[in-house]
């Protein structure tokens, strides 16, 4: 069995498209890792408070939700590779503008940086939709699950590497210079994708060739969404699967918040366990990527969600570090499997003309799920972080119950 697993892994890296895609994602995610913390540090230096960054995050979330109804149809109308390239180049240009604004110290620069950062969120959502479609059309079915797992791992490795790189840069320089690495990461990613072999676009119907008139495009958007939703309504399990896509992200964001009071109580206020536990979760995801040939199965989806619920409950009750780190490892391991199976199943479920819209629905589910659950988690944490963790475990148990339906009722309509 280990030999078969190694053959499967080697087949991914022998596939030129998959190999280049993983390399492009690694480069761009290093820039994302730098960007996440560098932007916060930069705005704190410019304003002296965390309010500006909090405002940006709020508007980015709102902007992302607003653009999603149009991101999917846009990606479906165009070639996924060209959209991916355009997003990489647009991200690099936007980050360069932010760097110039920060360096110029002109009046109103914080507002301008905020507008540019919101535009980044819009680009990122179109970028993800393009990746969803590109992978679904250009990667053989037997490699899609394995590749989706490796994409998640590459992203984690890149972000962690970017954060480590940022620490080195800030030791000798300012966050402005650190953001240059985000620009470089996006440019290298675009260069790698530009060298990908050309792939024929999916066939389009006559309505899709009516031009770029606003009225015609709006009609196409509405028609496309109605078509996809009618298809999804034939299988209610697809709608449940879209809802399940938010489960792992709700838990991840909740743990990002609740790990701080957990460490404050059991680790005498030391800060290193916070990053150590986050790193342990990433190690769990990386470890899971080596077993996806066996673990990516429809019947196993409830197992992964149940493990996340049980590990979260363990975190709320345990007092020993061994159990804390074990829980984070299990959550990371289980999370990669559930995320990857759902992503791969939805990619295959959508027709070639609907893959971009399916990606938008998935991202919309994640955005709405986290937007609705995070205030609830915040309110529960005011009672105690243990109570909030138990609340998260209950939420994950609800998702576990839904996953049982998917495990036994879902029937793919697109092989």
pLDDT for the residue numbered 188: 94
Q: Mean pLDDT: which of 31-45, 185-199, 310-324 is highest?
A: 310-324
Q: Convert the pLDDT of each residue in 300-329 to its tens digit.
A: 999 999 999 999 999 999 888 999 999 999
More confident residue, 187 or 147: 187
- The tokens describing 24, both together, are 């492009």
pLDDT for the residue numbered 247: 92
| Residue 393 pLDDT > 90 | yes
- Contacts made by residues 262-265, CB under 8 angstroms, sequence distance 24+: 262/315, 262/324, 262/385, 262/389, 265/385
| Residue 125 pLDDT > 60 | yes
More confident residue, 395 or 219: 395
Count Cβ neighbours within 10 Å for each residue of 281-320 and write b for 16 or more, e otherwise.
bbbbbbebbbebbebbebebbbbbbbbbbbbbbbbbebee
Q: Which domains does the chain have, with CATH numbers?
A: 12-197 (1.20.1250.20), 216-414 (1.20.1250.20)
pLDDT for the residue numbered 5: 43
pLDDT for the residue numbered 2: 39
Query: How far, in whole angstroms, is CA 380 from its chain's centroid?
Result: 25
Under the banding of pLDDT at 50, 70 and 90, the label for residue 209 is very low
The predicted model scores a pTM of 0.72
Q: Convert the pLDDT of each residue in 85-108 to its tens digit.
A: 999 999 999 889 888 888 887 777
| 171: number of Cβ within 10 Å | 7
Mean pLDDT check: name the lowest of 1-5, 113-117, 143-147, 148-152. Answer: 1-5
pLDDT for the residue numbered 328: 94
Q: Say which residue the tokens 């300012």 belong to.
A: 174
Write the CA distances from 351 to 217, 220, 346, 354, integer angstroms. Answer: 20, 16, 10, 5
pLDDT for the residue numbered 216: 56
- CA nearest neighbour of 95 among 190, 187, 194, 188: 187
Under the banding of pLDDT at 50, 70 and 90, the label for residue 1 is very low
Q: Say which residue the tokens 């940086």 belong to.
A: 113
pLDDT for the residue numbered 384: 86
Work out the mean pLDDT of the chain and round it to a whole number.
79
In whole angstroms, what is the distance from residue 64 CA to residue 68 CA?
Answer: 6
| Residue 342 pLDDT > 70 | yes
Mean pLDDT check: name the lowest of 59-68, 269-278, 327-336. Answer: 59-68
| 108: number of Cβ within 10 Å | 8
């Amino acid at each position: 069995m280990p030999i078969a697993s190694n053959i499967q892994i080697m087949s991914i890296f022998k596939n030129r498209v998959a190999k280049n895609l993983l390399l492009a994602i690694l480069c761009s995610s290093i820039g994302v890792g730098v960007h996440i913390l560098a932007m916060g540090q930069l705005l704190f230096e410019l304003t002296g408070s965390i309010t500006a960054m909090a405002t940006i995050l709020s508007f980015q979330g709102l902007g992302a939700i607003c653009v999603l109804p149009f991101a999917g149809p846009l990606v479906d109308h165009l070639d996924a590779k060209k959209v991916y390239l355009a997003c990489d180049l647009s991200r690099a240009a936007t980050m360069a503008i932010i760097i110039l604004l920060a360096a110029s110290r002109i009046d109103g620069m914080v507002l301008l940086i905020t507008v540019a950062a919101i535009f980044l969120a819009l680009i990122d959502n179109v970028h993800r939709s393009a990746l969803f479609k590109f992978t679904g059309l250009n990667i053989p079915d037997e490699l899609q699950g394995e590749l989706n797992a490796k994409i998640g791992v590459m992203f984690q490795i890149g972000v962690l590497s970017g954060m480590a790189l940022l620490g080195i840069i800030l030791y000798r320089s300012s966050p402005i210079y650190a953001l240059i690495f985000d620009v470089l990461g996006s440019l290298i990613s675009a260069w790698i994708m530009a060298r990908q072999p050309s792939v024929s676009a999916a066939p389009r119907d006559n309505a899709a060739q009516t031009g770029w008139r606003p009225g015609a495009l709006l009609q196409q958007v509405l028609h496309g969404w109605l078509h996809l939703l009618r298809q999804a309504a034939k299988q209610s399990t697809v709608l449940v699967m879209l809802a399940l896509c938010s489960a792992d992200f709700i838990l991840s964001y909740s743990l990002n918040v609740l790990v701080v009071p957990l460490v404050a109580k059991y680790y005498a206020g030391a800060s290193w366990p916070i990053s150590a536990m986050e790193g342990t979760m990433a190690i769990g995801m990386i470890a899971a990527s080596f077993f996806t040939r066996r673990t990516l199965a429809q019947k196993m989806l409830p197992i992964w969600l149940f493990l996340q619920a049980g590990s979260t409950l363990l975190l709320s009750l345990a007092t020993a570090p061994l159990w804390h780190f074990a829980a984070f490892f299990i959550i990371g391991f289980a999370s990669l499997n559930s995320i990857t199976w759902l992503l791969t199943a939805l990619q295959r479920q959508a027709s070639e003309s609907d893959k971009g819209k399916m990606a938008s629905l998935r991202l919309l589910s994640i955005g709405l799920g986290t937007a609705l659950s995070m205030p609830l988690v915040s309110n529960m944490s005011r009672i105690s972080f243990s109570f909030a963790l138990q609340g998260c475990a209950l939420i994950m148990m609800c998702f576990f119950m839904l996953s049982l339906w998917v495990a036994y009722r879902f029937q793919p309509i697109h092989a």
